Amino acid sequence: MGILAGKVAIITGSASGIGRETAIRMAAAGAHVVGGDLNRPGGEETAAMCSDAGTPGAFARTDVTSEADIAALVTLAVDRFSRVDILINNAGVAGASGPIELTAIEDWDRTQHILLRSVFLGIKHVVPHMKKQKSGSIINVSSLAGHRGYKRIHAYSAAKAGVVNLTRSAAIELGKHFIRVNCICPGDILTPMHGNHMSQEELESQLAGRQPIGRAGRPGDIAGAALYLASDDAEWVTGVSLNVDGGALTGVWTYQQNDFYSRHSKQPFMGPSSEPQAQSS
């Protein structure tokens, strides 16, 4: 029996990267995973991988900025598996990029909707079901940018800071219902979020030297943290912002980090991959 046996998890941005790895890990730990993403082929492939890992799940094409789509994703989980125990608000994009005075309002708003509004919507629609159960674990994926600013990605930094504080306020409100709300702040992880401006080998080499632990982060690093926060081992943990960053926030690499985004954030709006409509992190 896995540590999540019998539980039902909803994961947004399930088609690739952190979302995919987390979905597979949770399925292997016994959870039924219901994934949502705009990238239907990737999401369906993840669902098949979850079944191969040991636990049948489901997938629905989901625009996380749409309240109707989020509500439908939660309904799918409850109709199919009778409950929802875990929500992982993971979908994301790098979003609006460039000098603040040149940032288009449409790009700013779209970034906020994907990164912050979606987290609010996910919490809003799972809470009634978790209250009935008197239990639940909500895990929001923020970023190191939620704790400090980065030039050229102002909308992303603002939204991720919002995710950190929304996590705290929701944890205060929902604790009496035994619903835990935490967030994970990844460092630089090898995912489609970085786009395709360089080869995988070059990207991994650059990221390896940007924190005290000298390797690039991997989706499995974040999946492992999510597995813990979702499990009953963390039943007295709420309101936490967990940095999974190889030590990046120790402060030894601030200049390098900001310089990296200045050199590689050249587009006005950056999607997570060559599939601009995908929402996977």
What are the start-end ranges of the H helices in 83-231?
105-112, 118-133, 154-174, 200-208, 219-230
Please say if 156 is a catalytic residue.
Answer: yes
Q: What are phi and psi of 92, to 5 degrees?
A: -165, 165
Name which of 113, 119, 158 is nearest 139 in CA terms: 119
Contacts of 120 by beta carbon, 8 Å cutoff, 6+ apart: 166
Contact 143, 156 (CB under 8 A): yes
Catalytic residue among 150, 156, 228, 255: 156
- CA-to-CA distance for 32 and 159, rounded, in angstroms? 29
Which tokens is 238 given? 């709420």
Q: Three-class SS string for 192-237?
A: HHHCCCCCHHHHHHHHHCCCCCCCCECHHHHHHHHHHHHCHHHCCC
Contact 247, 215 (CB under 8 A): no
Name which of 58, 45, 55 is nearest 10 in CA terms: 58
Indicate which residues carry an active-site annotation: 156
